[in-house]
Structure 1
């Protein structure tokens, strides 16, 4: 009803269901694991940002309570773009199924991804470990190298990355999230109840792999696994890693990944600019 623009009917339905908990969504299991990192401390804060009205927000909070999620903050805007509140919240990640809100958040410099609500989920497979997988270029790293690939081809891309292997790439949109996870990972090492494991899953292959690893070293960020696939389908590799969430900038990789696990599209970089131009 909401997506169809029937706001009045949507709000009426929410009021009818104030005492009926909403079913878990695709990010539910990941959020539950992240909140488990607190374990007596307060390392993780989860906030609900919603275009729903404040009365509908009552159902959101009561649903969290019924499902055992310790979420205490929320912003409900009744149709207005909610991403504006990311700055005062000092957010490390914004997840939404609304592509316009995600694009606006990315353009404003916030880590953000469009969630595929119909994605599969792996979060129940490893009850005591949070596993997050990232694509590289235009996600963790800038799209500098991707621009070379798109404009001049694979050979020029490989030469460029080999020649610049010791020059760190600039930050991509989700680099702050990986940095935050890295800090949490160090805190979680002493927490036997929940640990964090990260992976880089990229189409790069040798010798272009070296610049990616050296960039992470320059950022003083460690990852647990790195997969340099040289264009192979990422889906089977994600199935083996079993991530709770995977982030990629290319729709075709997201389409492959969402049959395996919860997936977020990061609409940044030259590939998405070309897609937007073709759509317009």
Structure 2
């Protein structure tokens, strides 16, 4: 029987997101792919340093304790990269050196790799390539362009994955954001107050929040097929936060939408346009997702950040 990724949380990630390949990338940008590949070959036996999504990957993989069979695993991380296969060899060697369970990879030597996300059944795609992120989002897959220069995740919460989401155009559709862009804050507030009881349509990252919620619930239950006397609870937990520029009265529609979906978040920050970075510094996320580059830049100064290249803010 072939292996299957059905029912798993699958994170597809570029090599530049999980490892620090910024020096190698500068060689690629200043020269060509041949020089880049030659450098990677030279460094084949030199493990790469952690990248911006390192902490997120490491923690996600800890949902499955050592020794758990592949069929019973809850999380799969797959490297999906424009790297060539030999550069991919360094990725796997670096992962093995660091004790990261990375077993699957797709390496396309410069071609767009996003088309492999559907057969991988990816719940999330993280890449430094904006075009690949746009294509993945257009295909209905939650995706974000990582900011490789982001401050690395805090080590203050070793047993907890912390993920923060913007609301409009990320968890929710950009319906309300379009009203704001067209008519300003007053029009936005009236629009949301009038529709407080009407759930917002889902945004591109709603399926990821849903998958995380499911993973958390499954991790709190006994392992499939294991008797109650041998029940194992995963040591990792997930803590989520909604970090939005909304404020009262527009907060109500956001909360009611989450209730309608049957999804909970642990924290909700309604900032009314305040800069998000200082608040994210206190939450200490392993990753933050936002559709606006300004908020991502603010976040990247304190934590890993990903730009969701979708919605009205990213048109044109």
Q: TM-score scaled to structure 2, two decimals?
A: 0.84
Point out where structure 2 has 5 or more consecutive residues left out of the alignment. 1-26, 222-232
Distance in 2, matches of 1:142 and 1:203, equals 15
Q: 1:199: which partner in 2?
A: 241
Q: State whether structure 2 residue 34 is matched by structure 1 residue 34.
A: no
Q: Verify the 8 A CA contact 1:30 1:123 in the aligned structure 2.
A: no
Q: Verify the 8 A CA contact 2:189 2:250 in the aligned structure 1.
A: yes
SS in 1 for 2:76: coil
What whole-Å deviation, never above 9, does each CA across 1:190-248 have from its counterpart, x for those lacking one? 53621100000000011110110111111111110001111111111111111111000
What whole-Å deviation, never above 9, does each CA across 1:121-178 have from its counterpart, x for those lacking one? 2241210100000000000000000001110111111111111111111111111111
Q: 1:119: which partner in 2?
A: 150
Q: 1:272: which partner in 2?
A: 314
Distance in 2, matches of 1:18 and 1:242, equals 33
Q: State whether structure 2 residue 43 is matched by structure 1 residue 17.
A: yes
**Deviation for aligned residue 1:46:** 0.3
Correspondence for 2:181 among 138, 143, 150: 150
**Deviation for aligned residue 1:5:** 5.3
More deviation, 252-261/1-10: 1-10
Correspondence for 2:166 among 135, 140, 154: 135
Q: Verify the 8 A CA contact 1:35 1:70 in the aligned structure 2.
A: yes
SS in 2 for 1:179: helix
Q: State whether structure 2 residue 207 is matched by structure 1 residue 165.
A: no
Distance in 2, matches of 1:240 and 1:195, equals 18
RMSD between superposed Cα atoms in Å = 1.2
**Deviation for aligned residue 1:266:** 0.5
What count of residue pairs does the alignment treat as equivalent? 274
Q: State whether structure 2 residue 242 is matched by structure 1 residue 211.
A: no
Distance in 1, matches of 2:214 and 2:234, equals 16
Q: 2:28: which partner in 1?
A: 2
SS in 1 for 2:164: strand
More deviation, 37-46/248-257: 37-46
Q: What is the correspondence of 1:61-140 to structure 2 with a 5 Å cutoff?
A: 61-140=92-171
Structure 1 pair 100–149 and aligned structure 2 pair: CA distance change class (3 A): same
Structure 1 pair 192–53 and aligned structure 2 pair: CA distance change class (3 A): closer
**Deviation for aligned residue 1:2:** 2.3
Q: 1:258: which partner in 2?
A: 300
Correspondence for 2:210 among 175, 179, 187: 179
